[in-house]
Amino acid sequence: MTNASREPKPLPTWDPGTWRSYPAAQQPTWPDSDELEKVEKELASLPPLVFAGEARELRSKLAAVSRGEAFLLQAGDCAESFDGFNANAIRDKLRVILQVAVVLTYSSGVPTVKVGRIAGQFAKPRSKPTETIDGTELPSFLGHMVNDVPFSSGDRTPQAARLLRAYHQSSSTLNLLRAFTKGGFADLHRVQAWNQEFVGSSPEGRRYERLAAEIDRALRFMEAAGISSQHPEIHEADFYTSHEALILQYEEALTRRDSLTDDWYDCSAHMVWIGERTRQVDGAHIEFMRGVKNPIGCKVGPSAAAEEIVALCDALDPGREPGRLTLISRMGADAVADRLPPLLEAVRDAGHPVVWACDPMHGNTFTSDTGHKTRDLDDILAELAGFFAAHRQVGTFPGGVHLELTGDDVTECLGGGDAVATDDLGKRYETMCDPRLNARQSLDLAFRTAELLQQRT
Ligand code: PEP
Ligand code: CO
């Protein structure tokens, strides 16, 4: 081999639109390309939803996660909805995420980096592009950013105007999140008030109340000892947004050049991720993501080969920068012990300082006898335990969890302290897409994760 052939190939030039020359999986067939183009132009003229500096701040926190100095909690809806959009639902979701975070931080002693699947999580990849009922075939529901749930041709036809509505709903969601997290709601002095009534009466709710009382006592002790607890770290929470970057026209239109660094950032969210179905290394999603400087995620399922994941890391993080890339393992409880360790080893041996997070939801979905798409909390906890065990075996850090949850008292996942049984699923099954943990099940999981984290070191 000559020296010349060993030199790395220069990367092809990138701009926010180069993805258009690559095959893009899971894209809707937009019926009106003029309309789509008009919407893209309008989106491109609207203000960014987040600032590059905030994305950089998250990136440096994720760098701490990659070193084992912090833990990532990424959580929220499977899909946000245009219907029933209101402040209370956002508040309750934030409340349960803050509760899970405080359980993790207090029990493990490491900071929790909080990232919502929120303010942009409106597009869904699907296992089949169309759905057939009684001989009628229509496009599958692809999230409210694209089309609607009812099975009619009008509802299922992609409408570009939905991209704008998604932007505006994201903007008002983000506005409210900023107010809640910086305006007193997330103050640790209010840790007891985050427990909702229906949670407080359950065993995990009472366990949370005991922990909250301890935090309260610690804060009062600080005051009594003359150490002020009036710090921004106590009064305010840092909360970041994320979603799957599926519809690339939307992401491109919100990608802006940062005036400070001249780098490109996808200003639709602080963090964006690539789904299990769109992570083809020569595909449009990887092409788009390689050029934006945000922290990015990539889902990794049980079919992933080690070389494939290392190639993904090389494409998305050639500079091996801590905090840039989070790999989100979603193997399923049965597969995690076999499938994950070889990937952990290969990525480590290739020198990529990634964050490894566990999504214990998407590999454990099944249809119940009652016809509901569901997940069993026992399987979810088993995958989490398997994820921690795999890291212990290889000597890498289990860096975080990625959850689908809601603050509402839904019955979508089975199990938990106040067990939801198969026959209960129909009672309050409200999700538009995948089944979410309710607030009690989320707390239960938080305590179990905290125990695993304590054993980590
Ligand atoms: C999701 O996170 O909602 C999702 C569709 O996940 P995955 O890409 O891992 O299937
Ligand atoms: Co989902």
Instruction: Compute the distance from residue 359 Cα to the ligand 2 centre, in Å.
Output: 10
The model's pTM: 0.96
Q: Tell me the residue type at 318.
A: P
Residue 266: beta bridge partners?
Answer: 255
User: Computed from CA positions of residues 371, 376, 379, 384, in that sequence, does the dihedral angle turn out positive or negative?
Assistant: positive
User: pLDDT digits over 156-205, tens only?
Assistant: 999 999 999 999 999 999 999 999 999 888 888 888 888 877 787 888 88
Q: Is 117 in the pocket of ligand 1 (CB under 6 A)?
A: no
Q: Is 402 in the pocket of ligand 1 (CB under 6 A)?
A: no
Starting from the CA of residue 121, give the closest ligand. 1
Report the alpha-carbon distance of residue 397 to residue 392 in Å, rounded. Answer: 8
Residue 115: beta bridge partners?
Answer: 74, 240
Instruction: Compute the distance from residue 117 Cα to the ligand 1 centre, in Å.
Output: 11
Counted residue by residue, the chain has a size of: 457
User: pLDDT digits over 24-62, tens only?
Assistant: 999 999 999 999 999 999 999 999 999 999 999 999 999
What pLDDT score was predicted for residue 3?
46
What pLDDT score was predicted for residue 197?
77
pLDDT of residue 4 exceeding 70, the answer is no
What is the average pLDDT score of the chain?
A: 94
In percent, the amount of the chain with pLDDT more than 90 equals 84
Q: Is 276 in the pocket of ligand 1 (CB under 6 A)?
A: yes
H, E, C per residue of the chain: CCHHHHCCCCCCCCCCCHHHHCCCCCCCCCCCHHHHHHHHHHHHHCCCCCCHHHHHHHHHHHHHHHCCCCEEEEEECCCCCCCCCCHHHHHHHHHHHHHHHHHHHHHHCCCEEEEEEECCCCCCCCCCCEEEECCEEEECCCCCCCCCCCCCHHHHCCCCHHHHHHHHHHHHHHHHHHHHHHCCCCCHHHHHHHCCHHHHCCHHHHHHHHHHHHHHHHHHHHHHCCCCCCCHHHHCCCEEEEEECCCHHHHHHCEEECCCCCCEEECCCCEEEECCCCCCCCCHHHHHHHHCCCCEEEEECCCCCHHHHHHHHHHHCCCCCCCCEEEEECCCCCCHHHHHHHHHHHHHHCCCCCEEEECCCCCCCEECCCCCEECEHHHHHHHHHHHHHHHHHHCCCCCEEEEEECCCCCCCCEECCCCECHHHCCCCCCCCCCCCECHHHHHHHHHHHHHHHHCCC
Q: Who contacts 167 (Cβ-Cβ below 8 Å, separation ≥6)?
A: 43, 46, 49, 250, 254, 268
User: Any idea which of 3-17, 347-361, 437-451 has the lowest mean pLDDT?
Assistant: 3-17
Instruction: Compute the distance from residue 244 Cα to the ligand 1 centre, in Å.
Output: 8
User: pLDDT digits over 91-141, tens only?
Assistant: 999 999 999 999 999 988 899 999 999 999 999 999 999 999 999 999 999
Instruction: Compute the distance from residue 210 Cα to the ligand 1 centre, in Å.
Output: 35
What pLDDT score was predicted for residue 2?
44
Set out the domains of the chain in order of their start, with CATH numbers: 42-129+238-454 (3.20.20.70)
Give mean pLDDT, residues 397-426: 93
Give mean pLDDT, residues 9-26: 92
* End-to-end CA, the chain: 45
Q: What are phi and psi of 438, to 5 degrees?
A: -85, 180
User: pLDDT digits over 272-311, tens only?
Assistant: 999 999 999 999 999 999 999 999 999 999 999 999 999 9
Q: Is 399 in the pocket of ligand 1 (CB under 6 A)?
A: no
Given a contact cutoff of 8 angstroms between Cβ atoms, the answer to whether 74 and 121 are in contact is no
Report the alpha-carbon angle 272-274-277, nearest 5.
Answer: 155
In percent, the amount of the chain with pLDDT more than 70 equals 98
Instruction: Compute the distance from residue 154 Cα to the ligand 2 centre, in Å.
Output: 25
What pLDDT score was predicted for residue 7?
66
Q: Is 28 in the pocket of ligand 1 (CB under 6 A)?
A: no
pLDDT of residue 11 exceeding 80, the answer is no
Report the alpha-carbon distance of residue 6 to residue 453 in Å, rounded. Answer: 43
Residue 184, Ramachandran bin (φ over 0: left; ψ between -120 and 50: alpha; else beta): left
What pLDDT score was predicted for residue 457?
60
